[in-house]
Amino acid sequence: DIQMTQSPSSLSASVGDRVTITCRASQDIGNYLTWFQQKPGKAPRSLIYTVSTLQSGVPSRFSGSGSGTDFALTISSLQPEDSAVYYCQQSESYPITFGGGTKVEIK
Nearer to another protein among residue 67 and residue 77 (C-beta) = 67
Q: Contact between 89 and another protein (CB under 8 A)?
A: yes
Sign of the Cα torsion 72, 58, 43, 34 reads negative
What's the rounded Cα separation, in Å, for the pair 94 and 86? 21
**Segment contacting another protein by CB under 8 A, of 14-22, 49-57, 59-67, 68-76:** 49-57
Does residue number 46 form part of the binding site for another protein (CB under 8 A)?
A: yes
Instruction: Report the site for another protein in 1-30 (rule: CB under 8 A).
Output: none
Identify residue 102 by its one-letter amino acid code.
Answer: T
Q: Does 62 bind another protein (CB under 8 A)?
A: no
> Phi/psi class of residue 30: alpha, beta or left (left: φ > 0; alpha: ψ in -120 to 50)?
left
User: Measured from the CB of residue 101, what is the shortest distance to another protein in angstroms?
Assistant: 5
